[in-house]
């Protein structure tokens, strides 16, 4: 009998531990990542101004890492970008800040990579 879709006969073992989950933070975006972010945001806003992106914006999809974090930060700082929704493989720190600031309305993700705040 399968337990939640897993056949117990296929389970070789279970490893228990008491180590807390810990994620190493990304380095802050560098000058190159910030420049890429500025260009991506300019492109999106130019497309919106040309009518190829609706005024209310589109759901966005973001990758993982310093460039993606730079783009998310640049989107969040730009007053011309309306609040938006997004899809992402990994929900990471930069998205928490966007949600807290009201720029990110909702997100769909498959995993979390949130660092401990000091």
107 sits in which H/E element? strand 104-113
Q: Can 56 be counted among the known catalytic residues? A: no
SS3 per residue for 17-86: CCCCCCCCCCCCCCHHHHHHHHHHHHHHHHHHHCCCCCCCCCCEEECCCHHHHHHHHHHHHCCCCCCEEE
| From 16, 47, 56, 89, the catalytic residue | 89
Instruction: Of 83, 112, 80, give the one whose Cα is nearest residue 96.
Output: 112
Active site residues: 89
């Amino acid at each position: 009998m399968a337990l939640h879709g897993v056949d117990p006969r296929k389970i070789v073992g279970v490893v228990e531990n008491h180590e807390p989950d810990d994620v190493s933070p990304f380095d802050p975006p560098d000058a190159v990542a910030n420049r890429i972010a500025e260009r991506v945001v300019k492109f999106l806003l130019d497309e919106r101004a040309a009518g190829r992106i609706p005024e209310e914006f589109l759901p966005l999809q973001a990758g993982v890492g310093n460039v993606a974090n730079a783009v998310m930060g640049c989107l969040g700082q730009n007053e011309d970008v309306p609040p938006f929704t997004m899809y992402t493989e990994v929900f990471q720190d930069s998205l928490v800040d966007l949600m807290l600031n009201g720029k990110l309305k909702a997100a769909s993700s498959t995993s979390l990579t949130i660092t401990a705040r000091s």
